[in-house]
């Protein structure tokens, strides 16, 4: 029989074939399972990454200071258009939709042919988007990206700050790089989401995979204590003087003395946060926090309050002011004044350096240093903005024999504007410490208020209320009535405050041509609603218009105070 070997041969062949097939099945199922599972999964599922919408930053009245919105960009993928004719055809189809000449589109594509993403136009309208979607355009895509807007632009540039690209080049997320955007980046940022959709053969979504889907979580929004209107009052008043006096820089702060809420904070020169990459880095500093300066006479009320509180000097004590020449300590009076005996109130009213030097000597280094530390000098105030400078208050071990006579009138110490206004807020509220802050409330994406700043965060006493009231209602009110701050007076409200004209130290010596002109105060003296600081650095003395705090800074203070109190009063009604 010849058929038997044939059957055996065919049988063996079949066994081998089936054996090979079985091995192949085993190989595919065991060794290549993950690969084909992924391929199969990729064919039936689509992953869509969702970038979270960054939270909004609002002012205290709900005006938008910063918000994100999507911007649509039309792009061409040259890889999908292998022939130049295809590019030209696509460009001709895009021309009427985008209103860009076809040759220009061809030029853009030609310049970046080697890339797979060539942006043609950013910021297309909804109408244009729909027209592109409905046209059978090859190689054309639309990308959407969150863009950050700051409608108030320069007005709040130093407070809100700006966002920029993440350090990681693969990340599409933007991070806060300055101001509130940086300080509260983790809250504003949100969490990226991923939608996993089941798709049909045409890649149309027909279901979702809830187990794999990660819901996008938009960032929380912040309501600031800043009021855009008060901010504008402060900026416009300061800007006028800054330009008129050709000053090098200027800063103004408006604060609620009862809880430390900042109502306005201006730093000049400023920049447009929408174009921060083009801005001069020097304009991007919030000088109210970053630039310490020798405060000069605006420091006197603080030292006087510490001395009165500690009983080192009496309210009616007569202090001999050496007729304008304290030779032993090489101290003179401002503008060559010659004073005899003065009470602490008169020392502040007429801004006597010698009177303050003698108060400093009565206190001694230890008590003076401890009092100033208690007021927070030489340390950050804790305001919720980055890059705050602690200023400089040297330890007593580094003091010379002159230091105890210099610090009381604001020399040999560096402070920031925010430290000074905080100290004045403490005097204005009766001696309780406050923490300057900018965030009033945090609101999550559902609109639920998560954190709210307290209306008043007064706790404890740094100095006795009667001392603080005396300084504000008696001494500093008198500075405005009869003393150096008369230009700050208002008809309707009793203003209190102190002028300061401090020399700027250059290479260890005081420059006699450059000054910092300041005024700090508040109103109404009986129950202060706000405290305001104005500091103008290097007003041009050569203009012959004056350079003192009373001349340069006090009128700005008056304008800000007048507008702010009128605004607050009208909004209360």
Partner 1 sequence: MSRSRLIFVVFHLTIVLIGAVHLRVSASRVFYRWRRAQVVQDNLKLQLGDKQLKLEHLLNPSVISERIEKEPDPGK
Tell me how far CA of residue 115 lies from CA of 105, 108, 337, in angstroms: 15, 11, 75
Q: Which residue among 204, 211, 507, 573 contacts partner 1 (CB under 8 A)?
A: 204
Q: Contact region for partner 1 (CB under 8 A) — 104-112, 147-155, 289-297, 461-469?
A: 147-155
Question: Quick check: 518 and 298 in contact, CB under 8 A?
Answer: yes
Nearer of residues 2 and 202 to partner 1, judged by Cβ: 202
Q: List 325's β-bridge partners, or say none.
A: 332
Half-sphere exposure of 276 (CA within 13 A, CB side): 20
* Angle in degrees, 0-180, between the axes of helices 300-310 and 353-374, rounded to the nearest 10: 70
Counting residues that bind partner 1 (by CB under 8 A) gives 25
126 is an interface residue for partner 1 by CB under 8 A: yes
Nearer of residues 269 and 295 to partner 1, judged by Cβ: 269
Nearer of residues 43 and 395 to partner 1, judged by Cβ: 43
Nearer of residues 77 and 232 to partner 1, judged by Cβ: 232
Nearer of residues 206 and 392 to partner 1, judged by Cβ: 206
11 is an interface residue for partner 1 by CB under 8 A: no
119 is an interface residue for partner 1 by CB under 8 A: no
The CA R_g of the chain, rounded to the nearest whole Å, is 35
Question: Quick check: 439 and 453 in contact, CB under 8 A?
Answer: yes
155 is an interface residue for partner 1 by CB under 8 A: yes
In angstroms, give the least distance from the CB of 230 to partner 1.
Answer: 9
In angstroms, give the least distance from the CB of 159 to partner 1.
Answer: 13
In angstroms, give the least distance from the CB of 150 to partner 1.
Answer: 9
Q: How far apart are CA 475 and CA 473, in angstroms?
A: 6
In angstroms, give the least distance from the CB of 452 to partner 1.
Answer: 24
Q: SS in 3 state form for 266-334?
A: EEECCCCHHHHHHCCHHHHCCHHHHCCECCHHHHHHHHHHHHHHHCCCCCCCCEECHHHEEHHHCEECH
Nearer of residues 228 and 410 to partner 1, judged by Cβ: 228
Nearer of residues 236 and 461 to partner 1, judged by Cβ: 236
Nearer of residues 190 and 524 to partner 1, judged by Cβ: 190
149 is an interface residue for partner 1 by CB under 8 A: yes
Q: How far apart are CA 398 and CA 410, in angstroms?
A: 17
Cis peptide before 269 (omega within 30 of 0): yes
Q: Contact region for partner 1 (CB under 8 A) — 225-233, 388-396, 409-417, 423-431?
A: 225-233
- Please name which of 280, 269, 270, 225 lies closest in space to residue 247, comparing C-alpha atoms: 269
229 is an interface residue for partner 1 by CB under 8 A: yes
208 is an interface residue for partner 1 by CB under 8 A: yes
Question: Quick check: 420 and 301 in contact, CB under 8 A?
Answer: no
44 is an interface residue for partner 1 by CB under 8 A: no
- Please name which of 530, 353, 308 lies closest in space to residue 424, comparing C-alpha atoms: 530
Question: Quick check: 76 and 90 in contact, CB under 8 A?
Answer: yes
For Cα atoms 137, 138, 144, give the angle at the middle one, nearest 5 degrees.
75
Contacts of 41 (CB under 8 A, 6+ apart): none
236 is an interface residue for partner 1 by CB under 8 A: yes
Q: How far apart are CA 118 and CA 103, in angstroms?
A: 15
Q: Which residue among 220, 231, 416, 518 contacts partner 1 (CB under 8 A)?
A: 231
Q: Which residue among 54, 154, 287, 498 contacts partner 1 (CB under 8 A)?
A: 154
Record the tokens describing residue 375, joined without a space: 């007021």
Q: Which residue among 140, 197, 313, 552 contacts partner 1 (CB under 8 A)?
A: 197
340 is an interface residue for partner 1 by CB under 8 A: no
Q: Which residue among 141, 207, 395, 465 contacts partner 1 (CB under 8 A)?
A: 207
Q: Contact region for partner 1 (CB under 8 A) — 226-234, 407-415, 453-461, 521-529?
A: 226-234
Q: Which residue among 60, 67, 332, 568 contacts partner 1 (CB under 8 A)?
A: 67
Nearer of residues 31 and 204 to partner 1, judged by Cβ: 204
152 is an interface residue for partner 1 by CB under 8 A: yes
13 is an interface residue for partner 1 by CB under 8 A: no
567 is an interface residue for partner 1 by CB under 8 A: no
Residue 500 burial (10 A CB sphere; 0-12, 13-18, 19+): buried
> DSSP string spanning 410-471?
T-S-BB-HHHHHHHHHHHHTTS-----B-EEEEE-TTS-EEEE--S----S-SS-HHHHHII
Q: Which residue among 13, 138, 206, 452 contacts partner 1 (CB under 8 A)?
A: 206
Q: Which residue among 86, 89, 232, 317 contacts partner 1 (CB under 8 A)?
A: 232
Chain residues that interact with partner 1, rule: CB under 8 A:
63-64, 67, 69-70, 126, 149, 151-155, 197, 200, 204-208, 228-229, 231-232, 235-236
């Amino acid at each position: 029989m010849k058929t038997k070997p044939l059957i055996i041969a065919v049988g063996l062949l079949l066994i081998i074939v089936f054996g090979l097939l079985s091995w192949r099945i085993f190989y595919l199922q065991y060794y290549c399972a993950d690969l084909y599972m992924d391929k199969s999964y990729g064919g039936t599922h689509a992953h869509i990454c969702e970038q979270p919408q960054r939270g909004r930053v609002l002012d205290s009245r709900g005006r938008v200071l910063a918000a994100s919105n999507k911007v649509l960009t039309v792009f061409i993928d040259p890889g999908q258009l292998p022939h130049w004719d295809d590019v030209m055809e696509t460009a001709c189809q895009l021309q009427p939709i985008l209103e860009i000449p076809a040759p220009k589109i061809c030029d853009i594509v030609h310049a970046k042919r080697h890339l797979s993403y060539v942006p043609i136009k950013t910021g297309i309208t909804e109408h244009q988007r729909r027209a592109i979607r409905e046209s059978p355009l090859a190689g054309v895509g639309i990308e959407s990206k969150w863009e950050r807007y700051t409608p108030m632009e320069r007005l709040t540039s130093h407070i809100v700050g700006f966002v920029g690209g993440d350090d990681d080049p693969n990340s599409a997320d933007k991070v806060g790089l300055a101001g509130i955007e940086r300080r509260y980046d983790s809250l504003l940022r949100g969490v990226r989401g991923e939608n996993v959709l089941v798709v049909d053969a045409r890649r149309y979504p027909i279901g979702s995979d809830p187990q794999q889907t990660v819901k996008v979580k938009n960032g929380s929004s912040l309501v600031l204590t800043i009021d855009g209107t008060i901010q504008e009052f402060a900026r416009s008043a300061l800007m006028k003087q800054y330009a008129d006096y050709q000053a090098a820089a200027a800063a103004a702060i408006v604060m609620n003395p009862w809880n430390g809420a900042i109502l306005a904070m201006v730093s000049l020169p400023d920049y447009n946060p929408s174009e921060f990459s083009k801005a001069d880095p020097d304009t991007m500093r919030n000088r109210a926090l970053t630039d310490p300066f020798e405060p000069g006479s605006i420091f006197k009320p603080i030292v006087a309050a510490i001395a009165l509180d500690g009983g080192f000097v009496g309210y009616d004590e007569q202090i001999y002011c050496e007729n304008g020449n304290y030779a032993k300590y090489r101290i003179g009076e401002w503008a060559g004044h010659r004073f005899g005996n003065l009470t602490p109130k008169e020392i502040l009213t007429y801004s006597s350096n010698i009177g303050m030097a003698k108060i400093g000597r009565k206190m001694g280094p230890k008590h003076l240093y401890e009092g100033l530390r208690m007021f927070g000098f030489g340390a950050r105030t804790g305001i919720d903005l980055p890059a705050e400078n602690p200023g400089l208050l040297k330890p007593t071990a580094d003091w010379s024999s002159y230091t105890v006579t210099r610090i009381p009138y604001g020399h040999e110490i560096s402070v920031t504007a925010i430290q000074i206004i905080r100290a004045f807020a403490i005097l204005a509220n009766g001696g309780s410490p406050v923490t300057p802050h900018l965030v009033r409330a945090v609101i999550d994406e559902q609109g639920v208020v998560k954190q709210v700043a307290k209306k008043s965060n007064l706790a404890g006493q740094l100095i006795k209320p009667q001392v603080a009231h005396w300084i504000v209602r008696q001494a500093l009110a008198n500075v405005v009535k009869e003393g150096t701050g008369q230009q700050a007076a208002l008809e309707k409200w009793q203003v209190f405050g102190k002028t300061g004209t401090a020399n700027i130290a250059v290479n260890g010596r005081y420059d006699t041509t450059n000054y910092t002109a300041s005024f700090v105060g508040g109103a109404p003296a009986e129950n202060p609603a706000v405290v305001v600081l104005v500091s103008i650095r290097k007003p041009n003395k050569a203009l012959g218009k004056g350079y003192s705090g009373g001349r340069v800074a006090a009128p700005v203070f008056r304008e800000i105070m007048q507008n702010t109190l009128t605004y607050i009063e009208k909004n209360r009604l």
